Structure 1
Amino acid sequence: MPEIPRIVAVAVMMMAGGIGGPTMAAEYRTATVTTTEVGHTSTVGGTVVPYKEVNLSAQIPGQVTFIAGAEGDSFTSGAPLIRIDDAQIQAQRRSALAQITNAEASLRNAQVQYSREMWSPRSNTPNAMPGMGMPNMFDQFFTRGFSNMIGRSDTGLERYADWYAQGAGVQQAQGALMQATAQLEQLDAKLRDAQLVAPFDGMIVKKIVEVGDTVQPGQPLLQFAHTTYLRIQADVPVRLVTGLEKGMLLPARLDAGGIEIKARVAQIYPMADRTRHTVTVKFDLPKGVPGGPGMYAEVQIPDTTEPAREIPVLPEQAVVWRGSLPNVFVLRDGLPSLRVVRVGSALGGGFVSVLSGVSPGDQVVIDPPPGLVSGVR
């Protein structure tokens, strides 16, 4: 285990003009570089992606008349985002309403004619001209009856034919009404498609069109994403996927300021890419991490195919950043010596692994003062 930091006193005697000159003393908090056994890990690069993201496309042709905002604007679920001109669809809808009115009138007329045929068959009421009552009565009682007897006509069949024709008229009117109603529903669906709404709480991350642009069905309009929670999406080599389990916490490093955090394995895709031989894995990031979608990130993934190894360990307070490079002060014969190191992952408890630059047993300075210079007490 890493050694607890201790105090080393280095006394420096400076003589000026004889014995008894002034004395300067410098004290350094130091710790010994130790080793610890860690498994082999591999660094896999990935991209920060939103928790959810959708591409909203046009469903109808027309001109864009409204866009709710710009990139970065947030909206709640159901809020309108884009509208497309629907004047032509509105005109078609009014025409469909007129067709429904006509179809309803035709249906009522057909039902009346059907009822009339049921209760007052036309086969029993031949058309009569004014003033021809007696001849028509004679024809109904004698001529039509005699025709039925000799097979020249069939009153029952004629009545059935008239009744069937009126029933068919009712069915046709009902079909016309259903067709007009379906056309109205289709137009209402197009009107709904003329306005795109937010499918969930989120923000516009990319706006592809502007107000006044003419769009066609299927044309992308904007990208909408839920960015309150972020993920890292990485293509992990197949040999490393065997060491991953859903829910594992792994060290990750974000490109924004080089921040190191813990990422949780959220999703492991069931299929590997047949050409690259990698598996897509998504890692959940803590809420409120800096940066945003599209940012580069790295994840340390354990490699179970390699044996564990001993690596140097030192306190995090011993690492000094000079520019973009990590350094430590190592004591040699009481003098601090600045060394560039390659820092590995955090081990917890305030310690960090070092991949190169120091050796086990080296004494490193903890929290070196700002003015400390290599080779000078």
Structure 2
Amino acid sequence: MLNKGKKIILGMILMSSLIACNDEVQIDENNNNARLMPVETVTIVSDSFDDFIRLTGVVEALEDATISAETPGRILSIRERGDRVQRGNPIAQLDDRMIRAQFEAAKTGFELAEDTFNRLEALYADSIISTQDFRSARAQRDQASAQLTQAEKQLRDSRIEAPFSGRIEERMVRTGELVNPGQPVVRLVNTGRVKIVAGIPERYSGEITEGTDVLIYFRSLGGETRPGNVSYAGNVIDPDTRTFTVEVELQNPGEQIKPDMVVDLQVKRSSLEDAIIVPRTAILRDEEGVFIFRAKVQNGDKFAELIPIRTGLASGSLVQILDGLSEGDEIVVSGMRTLSAGDQLNILQNESSLERANRLREADRPVITF
């Protein structure tokens, strides 16, 4: 219970509540025995307040593919690991001598079959040959055409081309090796544009949608920050993690962002204007509620007054106050642990809550981890 003049020892939010005292102390204007306690204070100024969800995500390349052979053959040439290729450029070349010979044979066969069909078609029109002979010639022409198409494809497939522009990150075969259809040849990655993939707890499923604002902190780049927006928000909950997938796409012109980098995300849930916000460390708790020390002026001096408050949203080191404080109030933000209601305040430093909040926001930036 809080008693008049008795020291209050209270814990911070998220810490275990400590035994404290009862009833707000009424300050005695003639109290000459009040202790003079050093504290720091802030004067409340309304501010905007963004409520974030904090997550860890992983970088993935938007284009990352294992390129495989589509026709059998021996590797005549292949790009080196680290080489950059443009879309449509060759990655590897197979020995195409046999394939080319098959193509030439198929081409000759088709030309002969087509010429025969054209001659017989004229004869059929004059009723010189039977329907059966005409249909047989047409079938042979169509079969030769299909064989030529297949030979053309095999010839094209002997040249393995890049399906998109990128960099060779892995090479699975060497010059002179035989490859079969479906056998991996290289891994091609384009990091000019990347995506951040993270899991959002299912309780936020109705709040995070495509277009939601995101701040991204790159641990490996010295805490570099980039803004972004959710480009994809999944509808399916992972039964193991109870999260749904979100993705944020980013341009990466300098390719400093690498696949598999771990990054920290702040995904905006809501944004408030003209909110009363205070440092989390200024708030005290006991079994009877939530309180804060406010400076009350008596005869030109300032004394500690313990008042009940009601908190709202919290983000990082900042907490929204719904009831109990007004703009212009001066509250204690440092020195509360040894402060009792009724103590006289020796204010070592005072600043606006806006200045303190901006410093805390900067300190909250998760350069290493949340």
Unaligned runs of 5+ in 2: 1-39, 271-310, 319-334, 336-345, 349-355, 365-370
Is 1:190–2:154 an aligned residue pair?
Answer: yes
Q: Deviations over 1:227-282 (max 9, x none)?
A: 22222112222223432232232222213133233232111223333443322211
Return the match for 1:235 from 172, 175, 199: 199
Match of 2:179, as an amino acid? V
Q: Distance in 1 between matches of 2:127 and 2:257?
A: 79
User: 1:286 and 1:110 mapped to 2: Cα distance?
Assistant: 62
Map 1:1-377; keep pairs closer than 5 Å.
38=49, 41-71=52-82, 73-104=83-114, 106-107=116-117, 110=120, 114=124, 118=128, 166-256=130-220, 257-285=222-250, 287-288=252-253, 290-302=256-268, 307-309=312-314, 312=317, 352=361, 354=363
Query: What CA deviation, in whole Å up to 9, does each residue of 1:11-60 have, x standing for no partner?
Result: xxxxxxxxxxxxxxxxxxxx977887856544322211123333322211
- Structure 1 residues 191, 277: closer, same or farther in 2, change over 3 A? farther
TM-score norm. by structure 2 comes to 0.56
Cα shift at 1:173: 1.3
**What secondary structure, in the 3-state scheme, does the structure 1 residue paired with 2:235 have?**
strand
What 5-or-longer segments of structure 1 have no aligned partner?
1-30, 119-162, 314-329, 336-346, 356-377
SS of residue paired to 1:272? coil
Asked if 2 retains the 8 angstrom alpha-carbon contact of 1:312 and 1:353, the reply is no
Q: Deviations over 1:319-366 (max 9, x none)?
A: xxxxxxxxxxx9xx999xxxxxxxxxxx996762556xxxxxxxxxxx
The 8 Å contact of residues 203 and 224 in structure 1, kept in 2 or not, is answered as yes
Q: Residue 46 of structure 1 contacts residue 232 of structure 1 at CA under 8 Å; is this kept in 2?
A: yes
Q: Whose relative contact order is higher, 1 or 2, with alpha carbons under 8 Å and at least 6 apart?
A: 2
Contact 2:213/2:268, CA 8 A, preserved across alignment: no
> What is the Cα deviation at residue 104 of structure 1?
4.0
Shift, 1:95, TM fit: 2.2
Preserved contact between residue 208 and residue 222 of structure 1 (Cα < 8 Å) = yes
How many pairs does the alignment contain?
Answer: 249
Cα distance, 1:101–1:77 mapped onto 2, change above 3 Å? closer
- CA shift, 1:108, in A, is 5.7
Residue type of the partner of 2:72? Answer: P
Percent identity over paired residues: 25
Bigger radius of gyration among the two:
1
AA partner of residue 99 (structure 1): G
| Cα RMSD after superposing both structures | 3.8
CA distance in 2, matches of 1:167, 1:311: 86
Partner deviation per Cα, 1:114-173 (whole Å, 9 max, x = no partner):
57864xxxxxxxxxxxxxxxxxxxxxxxxxxxxxxxxxxxxxxxxxxxx5xx33212211
